[in-house]
Amino acid sequence: MPKQIKKRPLKKGERPAAVLTIIAMITGLIFSVMFIIMIPDIDSSAEDVQFAKAISAAAGYVLFVLATAAAMIASLMSYKKSKQMGDVMRGFFCGVSIFTALLSIRFMLALFFAGLDDQDAVNKIIGNNTYSEFIKNQAPSFACLVIALAIMLFTGISAIVKLAKR
pLDDT tens digits, residue range 51-88?
A: 777 778 888 889 989 999 998 998 888 888 878 787 88
Mean pLDDT of the chain: 80
pLDDT at position 82 is: 79
pLDDT at position 139 is: 79
Name the band, by pLDDT with cuts 50, 70 and 90, for residue 44: low
pLDDT at position 73 is: 92
The end-to-end CA distance of the chain, in Å, is 23
Asked whether the predicted pLDDT for residue 1 surpasses 70, the reply is no
- pTM higher than 0.95: no
pLDDT at position 63 is: 92
pLDDT at position 66 is: 93
Domain boundaries, the chain: 14-165
Query: What is the mean pLDDT of the segment spanning 109-131?
Result: 78
Euclidean distance between CA atoms 161 and 8, whole angstroms: 14
Distance of CA 53 to the CA centre of its chain: 18
Euclidean distance between CA atoms 46 and 48, whole angstroms: 6
Check: CB of residue 70 under 8 Å from CB of residue 24: yes
Query: What is the mean pLDDT of the segment spanning 138-143?
Result: 80
